[in-house]
Chains A and B, each alone.
Chain A
Amino acid sequence: MPKEPEISLAEKTFVLEALKQNLRVDGRNIHSFRDIQFSFGDDYGFVDVRLGKTRVLARISAEIIRPRPDRPFEGTFTISTEMGPMASPSFEVGRPTDLDNTLSRLLEKSIRRSTALDLESLCIVTAQRVWSLRADLHFLSHDGNLIDTACIATITALAHFRLPVVTVSGEDITIHPVTERVPVPLSLLHWPICVTFSFFGEDDDGEMVCVLDATAQEEALREGDMTVTVNKNGEVCQISKSGGVAVEAETLMKCARKAAEKVKGIDKLIASALRGDEIARNKGNLDWLKEGRSENER
């Protein structure tokens, strides 16, 4: 099986030396993110997020199911994150890596358990029919920071998704196609965003070097990492740090504050991307809505 590539001593020495002087190989500031680019598909709830060379697709789909007996008022929401060799030849299908596990656990904690999605709003008929939402994440290209990218993609896709309108009359449930009734957005209570810090030990002044949005090369060389999930109101949803270099409480506080500041910016980017797509969909393309889908030029 193809193993992770060996990083040469020259690269390792250079990257670590440069970081001590607050320099990064790609010329970024240690606290700056790469450019985030969004592109939306024809369908609602489909987004392609690029963070530098890292690229993640998220697709939301919905189906009607019978609710769990112990939760008759709630719909369900699952996030599926299966990595394949497309992102990196060292990922194998059906054999989850540590990164796989960390990622699915973090998204679970950040988005599902922070009740970003109001599951009760997915109920159609109590104890009979509820919406079951599913987020499929596809990792196309891995150049570090898959966690933050995956989280941004999931939140953006959820905010972009529209549920078809359902009418209930007695026993009958009618799902109105997009062409018939304008579908409704999901009830998202807040947008939790993950921000991952990579630690590279202390610099000459004894301060911890924390790098944001690490590349794959930096991730391979880091001494520890921590993911903070915050929403734009500055509410911390979760912090996770599993092992790695020990970090002072003061550094942790600094990181949390930095994360809150970063999330405000990312939140704005997502909102403006969504607005841009909304305008593109409705303006000059009204027949798109009328016809649902067609062969005409988009």
Chain B
Amino acid sequence: MSMSLDSPEIILPGDPLPQLSPLLSPPSTETSTSTTDTKPRSLRLGPGLTLSPTTPSTPILPYRYGTLNLTSHTKRPTASILSTPRHYHPSTNDPVLVTLLRTTAEQFIVQLAPYTPPAIIPFENYIINNAGTTASARKSRPNLPIGATIYARVAVVHKHLESVELSVPDPTFGEVISQKNTSSSSSSNQKNKKESSTSISAGTTTGASSIANRAEVTPYILSTSQPMTKLLLAEETLGKPLLSAVASKVPFEMIVGKNGRVWIDATTQKEVIQVVRCFKEFDEAEAWNDEDGGLAKGRQIVGKVCGK
């Protein structure tokens, strides 16, 4: 997703969206279009848009402020409102980093973000050794301590159901190591980590192997705002200036959860703190809102935190 240079028009909740009308196939013309198209084109509504039967003139209602994002070239055109509220709104397939609150007979109860309703990971969704049945899933479930951090995927978001359901579909997900002394069980996790995390280092060597051998360092989990999270996830585009600036000073690894949690690891405690501070100060200064995407601010912060 690239950003256009000219700032697009801000859409407020309730604004009419006439540009979407051509994409809607009204029922009367459906028969005529079906002769040319085998399937009527249907528009998918992404976050920020909803159908409003009460306003027939503008059936598609934006409910959040932002800019319209339209992908019409694909088979199924999708429209959504691009917006960066600080709050995390879960949507299906999002990778998230969650904290374990408690374990019940059937599921893990986890927290996506502070003060929000808890989410669940049913044991049958926690697949480690290709456990097929519910019974075997329950038996093979890992014994996780309260407060453990799990890298999971949002499986079901249904607002009327009890909660958001997450899954740990394959070994790239799972518990991320939080403690040194659980080394016996973390051998597999170490592997998990390497596959799922982003290893960023300036040098030619990849940071992952060297960091895995660290002595007395524990990783840290940083909470970030939604815009910052999006920036860190877009490591090749939006996040590149900041990430490469930090990586040029300190090699580090990170796993970004879309819920605004970032797992950070480096070779020493001090280095982890440096990375954390760079991200945190960048976020708190709302540097992602800057004209240059935080390029100058990012350099300044990195210079201040990590030294020349």
Q: Report chain A residues within 8 Å CB of B147.
A: 6-9, 12
Contact with B along A144-186 (1 / 0, CB 8 A): 0000000000000000000000000000000000000000000
Contact check: which of B176, B178, B284, B305 meets A27 at CB < 8 Å? Answer: B305
Contacts of B245 in A (CB 8 A): none
Q: Which of A7, A14, A89 contacts B218 (CB 8 A)?
A: A14
With A and B bound together, what is the CA distance between A2 and B216 in angstroms? 35
List, in ascending order, chain A residues with CB within 8 A of B272's CB: 14
Q: Does B128 reach chain A (CB closer than 8 Å)? A: no
Report yes or no: B221 in contact with A53, Cβ–Cβ below 8 A: no
* A6-26 interface code vs B (CB 8 A; 1 in, 0 out): 111111111001100101111
Contact status B220-A25, CB under 8 Å: yes
Are B148 and A9 interface neighbours, CB within 8 A? yes
| A-facing residues in B151-192 (Cβ within 8 Å) | 176, 178-179
- B273 x A11 contact (CB < 8 A): no
A6: which B residues are within 8 A, CB to CB? 99, 101, 111, 146-147
27 interchain pairs (CB within 8 A)? A2-B114, A5-B114, A6-B101, A6-B147, A7-B147, A8-B99, A8-B178, A9-B145, A9-B146, A9-B147, A9-B148, A10-B149, A10-B178, A10-B179, A10-B219, A13-B179, A13-B218, A18-B273, A21-B269, A23-B269, A24-B273, A25-B277, A26-B280, A27-B274, A27-B277, A89-B115, A90-B115
Give B contacts to A, CB under 8 Å: 99, 101, 111, 114-115, 145-149, 176, 178-179, 216, 218-221, 263, 269-270, 272-274, 276-277, 280, 284, 305
> How many pairs of A and B residues are in contact by the CB < 8 Å rule?
71
Within the complex, the shortest CB–CB distance from A21 to chain B, in Å, comes to 6
| Chain A hits for B111, CB < 8 A | 5-6
B residues within 8 A CB of A9? 145-149, 178-179
In the complex, residue of chain A having the shortest beta-carbon distance to the beta carbon of B144: A9
| Residue among A3, A9, A18 with the highest chain B CB neighbour number at 10 A | A9
Complex Cα spacing A13 to B270, Å: 14
Residues of A within 8 A of B (CB): 2-3, 5-14, 17-18, 21, 23-27, 53, 89-90
Sample of 16 further A-B pairs with CB below 8 A, known A6-B146, A18-B273, A26-B277: A5-B114, A8-B148, A8-B149, A9-B179, A10-B176, A10-B178, A10-B263, A11-B220, A11-B221, A13-B218, A14-B218, A14-B272, A17-B216, A18-B269, A27-B277, A53-B284
Tell me the complex Cα distance, A10–B257, Å. Answer: 15
A239 to B55, CA, bound (A): 65
Contact between A5 and B115, CB atoms less than 8 A apart: yes
For A11, list chain B residues within 8 Å (CB): 220-221
Cβ distance A245 to chain B, nearest Cβ, rounded Å: 21
Q: How far is the CB of A95 from chain B (nearest CB, A)?
A: 16
Q: Closest residue of chain A to B272, judged by CB?
A: A14
Contact A17 B269 (CB under 8 A): yes
Residues of B within 8 A of A24 (CB): 273
The complex places the Cα of A15 from the Cα of B178 at a distance, in Å, of: 12
Is the Cβ of B269 less than 8 Å from the Cβ of A8? no
- How far is it, in angstroms, between the C-alpha of A24 and the C-alpha of B269 when the chains are bound? 10
